[in-house]
Amino acid sequence: MIPEKIGFIGLGLIGGSIAKTIHRIYPDIQLIAHDLNTTALRLAMEESVISHAFSDLSEDFAGCRYIFLCAPVQKNTEFLAKLSGFAGKNCIITDVGSVKSSIHESLPAELTPFFIGGHPMAGSEKNGYEHATPYLLENAYYILTPTPEVDTASVEEFRSFISSLGAITMVLDYQLHDFITASISHLPHILASSLVNLVQEIDDETQTMKKVAAGGFRDITRIASSSPVMWQQICLTNREQILKLITMFIHSLEKTRDFISESGSNELFDFFQSAKDYRDSLTITNAGPLPKVYEIYCDMVDEAGGIAALATILSSHGISIKNIGIIHNREFLDGVLHMEFYEEKARKKAVTLLRQYRYTVYE
């Protein structure tokens, strides 16, 4: 079933991208939005992505089949009480936060039969509607965490709709979701920021470390450039799982320290070999001991022959591709398609060429 009307509370990077995606695929669906950022609402109106903009929640939202909560994590819970009068047999409420426990545990009883939590695993270091893209969901994992009270038909309907936007849907228990994201997303951000702060603290007066920082340091700390407000709220709302993971990581780091302290040659080899094997098994890998990566990201609709057509364009102009693949988990990465080249000259030539063919390319 294609809904006639969908509402958005918050129209930043994620909310704006979902709205743009819906508008691209289903231009006849009426989209309305509430946001305190009047600039975002104005831009969305100018682009005809939304038909109505509201400075506050109004009865207009009661006619929506779906309402997307796209405000910061802690703010979303504040909207729940206001939305309780809108939810019902004909209105499903969802959110897009990367932490699910806080909102599930804050649900008013009357909302539990109509709430399906959501987490699109896509985004970037940038924020705001001006950076939203109609292809952000393409081939990205989109986790759904329905309450046990939601009927299976509504879950399947919403899952089908999200899949139609180009995403890969998964249904998980909300607590399992939070442990998984704490492991693969939240803890890495904390570690990256901790490493950056450590280097800043121990650097000399002329900032030698900052000047020569390259390769591995830049790769492993890139995500430390993300929004401090967002990560502050994530740590506060997923506190239990993150603390559990930090304790586990400290234990793991202490074991590694002991290997080094005791000159455990075999243990150290196994430590690095195990990490390499698992990392190399991921979808996209960067070969070599942290070499400079010549890569770009490109928006692309998931359709037969799409990658082949792009590869043909590059090869016909003498550009060799080192690695190419669809990005499924695009948190803090732009673009759907990842491409890696052997040299900077080839990368720059590919950017110019693909843009001439009207591809949207992110460097």
| pLDDT tens for the 363 residues of the chain, in order | 799 999 999 999 999 999 999 999 999 999 999 998 999 999 999 999 999 999 888 888 988 999 999 987 777 878 888 888 777 778 999 999 888 998 999 999 999 999 999 999 887 666 789 989 999 898 899 999 999 999 999 999 999 999 999 999 999 999 999 999 999 889 998 998 998 898 889 999 888 888 777 656 777 787 777 778 778 888 888 899 999 999 999 999 999 999 999 998 999 999 999 988 888 887 653 333 334 678 898 988 777 788 899 999 999 999 999 988 887 766 555 567 889 998 889 999 999 999 999 999 987
Tokens 């460097």 correspond to 363
Concatenate the DSSP letters of all residues of 240-282 into one string: HHHHHHHHHHHHHHHHHHHHHHTT-HHHHHHHHHHHHHHHHTS
Amino acid in the structure at residue 49: V
Opening angle at CA 295, ends 294 and 301, nearest 5 = 160
Q: What would the DSSP string read from start to end of 146-174? A: E-TTS-HHHHHHHHHHHHHTT-EEEE--H
pTM for this structure? 0.77
Identify the residue whose tokens are 């190399």: 280
List all residues 6 or more positions away from 275 whose beta carbon is below 8 Å from its beta carbon: none
User: Would you state the structure tokens that stand for residue 306, as one six-digit string?
Assistant: 């799409």
**What is the model's pLDDT at position 289?**
31
Residue-wise pLDDT tens digits, 180-193: 999 988 999 899 89
How many angstroms separate the CA atoms of 91 and 334, rounded? 32
In total, the chain counts a number of residues equal to 363
